[in-house]
Structure 1
Amino acid sequence: MERRAYLRAVGAVTVAGLAGCIGTSGTSAEYDVGMSARAFRPETIEVAPGTEVVWRNTSKQGHSVTAYESGLPEGADYWASGGFDDEESAREAWGAGDGGTLFEGQSYSHTFEIRGEYPYFCIPHERGGMVGTVVVTDDPSTTTG
Structure 2
Amino acid sequence: MERRAFLRAVGPAAAAGLAGCLGGSTATGDYDVGMSAAAFRPVRIAVEPGTTVRWLNTSKQGHSVTAYEGEIPDDADYFASGGFDTEQAARDNWGSSSGGTLFEGEDFTHTFEVLGEYPYFCIPHERAGMVGTVVVTENPETVTGDA
Q: TM-score, normalised by structure 2?
A: 0.81
State the partner residue of 1:91: 91
Kindly provide the amino acid, as one letter, of the partner of residue 68 in structure 1: Y
2:140 is paired with a residue of what secondary structure?
coil
Distance (whole Å) between structure 1 residues aligned to residue 134 and residue 44 of structure 2: 6
Q: What does residue 31 of structure 1 align with?
A: 31
State the percentage of identical aligned residues: 65
4+ residue segments displaced more than 4 Å: none
Gaps of 5+ in 1: 1-13
Query: d(CA) in 2 for partners of 1:117 and 1:69?
Result: 12
Per-residue deviation, residues 57-105 of structure 1 (Å, max 9, x unmatched): 0000000000000001010011000000000000000001151000000
* Residue number in structure 2 paired with 1:118: 118
Structural mapping, 1:60-79, within 5 Å: 60-79=60-79
Per-residue deviation at 1:27?
Answer: 2.0
Report the count of equivalent residues: 130
Cα deviations by residue, 1:112-143 (Å, 9 ceiling, x for unpaired):
00000000000000000000000000001276
**Which whole-Å CA distance do the structure 2 matches of 1:133 and 1:52 have between them?**
14
| CA RMSD, Structure 1 to Structure 2 (Å) | 2.3
Q: How does 1:1-145 map to 2 (within 5 A)?
A: 18=12, 21=15, 26-28=23-25, 30-141=30-141, 144-145=146-147
Q: Distance in 1 between matches of 2:108 and 2:146?
A: 20
Deviation at 1:144, TM superposition (A): 3.5
For 1:38, the aligned partner's letter is A
Gaps in structure 2 of 5+ consecutive residues:
1-7
Highest Rg: 1 or 2? 1
Distance (Å, rounded) in 2 between the aligned partners of 1:123 and 1:34: 16
Q: Secondary structure at the match of 2:88?
A: helix
Q: Could you tell me which residue of structure 1 aligns to residue 5 of structure 2? A: none
- The letter for the 2-side match of 1:26 is G
